[in-house]
Amino acid sequence: MPTMYVVILAGGGGTRLWPLSRPETPKPFLPLLGEDSLLQRTVARVVGHAELGLTTGDVTVVTDRRYGSLVRTQCPGVRVISEPVGRNTAAAIALATVLIERDEDDVMCVLPADHLIAPDREGVFRRVLAGAARLAGGAFEVDSPLVTLGIAVDRPATEYGYLLPVVERGAKVGDLRAYPLRAFEEKPSRDRAAELLHEPAVAWNAGIFLWRRRAIRDALERYTGLVTLLGSVGSSEAAMINAYEQARSISIDHAVMESAAHDRRVVMAAMDVGWSDLGSWTALLAALGANATGRVIQANEPADVLPDDLLVERVSGRLVVEPGPRGILATTPTALLRGAAPDRTIVEALVDRVRRWEEPS
């Protein structure tokens, strides 16, 4: 397997999980699934395992400078690259490409900080990463392709982007079924999602990438001006701030991957590893075993809380769980969990974990 290093992007605000997450304590740093934060779980998933052979020294976390100390506290030993302000994933990846000194043929693995991989599938996930690192060395007559990993589609989801492969050119490469990618498709309508469900080998875009350092540098230079813009920042805080003031806020998908797919420079492989982006209260409740749905009620938005519902809100800044029935006109963002009353124990355990983390004794 090629030499690999990992870049973890920890910049998401988690606004769809308010009031658990807040600007000062975003989703990646919270203990949502257990006593460890999502970031800690992401690091532990890839470090110290035979399949990848990585140490904490091979891991870099890119985050907003407001959260640099949080990363260092939660994940001692990893490198931290602090952005002066969030500018989406293209700038974060470009900054990592510029600042992390590795051999040009080493494979950078880019992971979100805040996703779930089923605990009993983590070994499978690591083997997928190892196989994808080999793909990044060359596949389908493409030297050093950009590799994207997708999630096997099992429902007509409208909340995810989709990866559309060249199905007739698919091949087994090691343990992976891989394809050249023909296109990325943004979050579809419900009718289009239903169509995509029945297309062979289509996958959800998980935001997980592997590529040689020189391959992503070349792609960033080809499709964006970010390498030039960020290449001279060095350790100068003033230069970094100036560069970020000029940088557009754009995802790596829009900035690079869509054009690279059009140019037939992208390879995809789908995986079935019990993945969730934990991107909403409904997804988080499902991951915790609760049979309920949830959404955030914004400030000054009225809502009716039914007898089987629960509210998660902040009272004087402190998280609490409240039952229905009642009518509300929230003064701050509040989570309305429909049908969660039978699973109140699960919800209260979640809130207790976050509250203990916020209020250490």
| Domain residue extents for the chain | 4-271, 281-358
The CA distance from 25 to 13, in Å, is 8
Question: What per-residue confidence (pLDDT) applies to 173?
Answer: 87
Token match 């590799």: residue?
Answer: 147
What percent of the chain lies above the pLDDT cut of 70? 99
Question: What per-residue confidence (pLDDT) applies to 11?
Answer: 81
The CA distance from 298 to 2, in Å, is 48
The CA distance from 170 to 232, in Å, is 41
State the DSSP H helix or E strand holding residue 93, giving kind and residue range, or none if neither.
Answer: helix 88-99
- Partnered with residue 157 across adjacent β-strands are none
With CA atoms as reference, report the closest residue to 125 among 106, 151, 160, 93. Answer: 151
The CA distance from 281 to 230, in Å, is 36
With CA atoms as reference, report the closest residue to 132 among 23, 52, 190. Answer: 52
Is the separation of the CB atoms in 40 and 74 below 8 Å? yes
Burial of 302 (0-12, 13-18, 19+ CB in 10 A): exposed
Token match 């009353």: residue?
Answer: 341
The CA distance from 133 to 129, in Å, is 6
Q: What are phi and psi of 336, to 5 degrees?
A: -105, 115
Question: What per-residue confidence (pLDDT) applies to 48?
Answer: 97
Question: What per-residue confidence (pLDDT) applies to 235?
Answer: 67
Per-residue DSSP letter, 299: T
| Neighbouring C-beta atoms of residue 225, cutoff 10 Å | 13
With CA atoms as reference, report the closest residue to 328 among 305, 312, 309, 345. Answer: 305
> Cα 264 to the chain's mean position, in Å?
24
Half-sphere exposure (CA, 13 Å, Cβ side) for 165?
A: 27
Tally DSSP H helices, then E strands, for the chain.
12, 16
The CA distance from 339 to 351, in Å, is 17
**DSSP notation for 265-280:** -EEEEEE-S--B---S
Task: Copy the structure tokens of residue 198.
Answer: 């029945």
The CA distance from 322 to 206, in Å, is 34
Question: What per-residue confidence (pLDDT) applies to 352?
Answer: 97
The CA distance from 32 to 283, in Å, is 12
Q: Which CATH architecture has domain 4-271?
A: Alpha-Beta Complex (3.90)
Q: Encode burial over 312-337: b for 16+ CB neighbours within 10 A, e otherwise.
A: bbbeeeebebeebeeebebeebbbbb
Residues contacting residue 355 through CB under 8 Å, at least 6 positions apart: 318, 319
Q: Which segments within 213-277 are labelled E, that is strand? A: 266-271
The residue type found at 78 is V
Task: Copy the structure tokens of residue 7.
Answer: 């870049």
| Neighbouring C-beta atoms of residue 121, cutoff 10 Å | 15
Q: At what angle do helices 88-99 and 213-223 cross, to 10 degrees?
A: 130
Question: What per-residue confidence (pLDDT) applies to 361?
Answer: 62
User: What pTM was estimated for this model as a whole?
Assistant: 0.95
| Neighbouring C-beta atoms of residue 294, cutoff 10 Å | 24
State how far the alpha carbon of 31 is from the alpha carbons of 26, 34, 246, 349, 354, in Å.
11, 6, 35, 11, 6
Please give the chain's pLDDT, 361 residues, in tens.
789 999 999 986 678 999 999 888 899 999 999 999 999 999 999 999 999 999 999 999 999 999 999 999 999 999 999 999 999 999 999 999 999 999 999 999 999 999 999 999 999 999 999 999 999 999 999 999 999 999 999 999 999 999 999 999 999 988 899 999 999 998 999 999 999 999 999 999 999 999 999 999 999 999 999 999 998 887 688 888 999 999 999 999 999 999 999 999 999 999 999 999 999 999 999 999 999 999 999 999 999 999 999 999 999 889 999 999 999 998 899 999 999 999 999 999 999 999 999 887 6
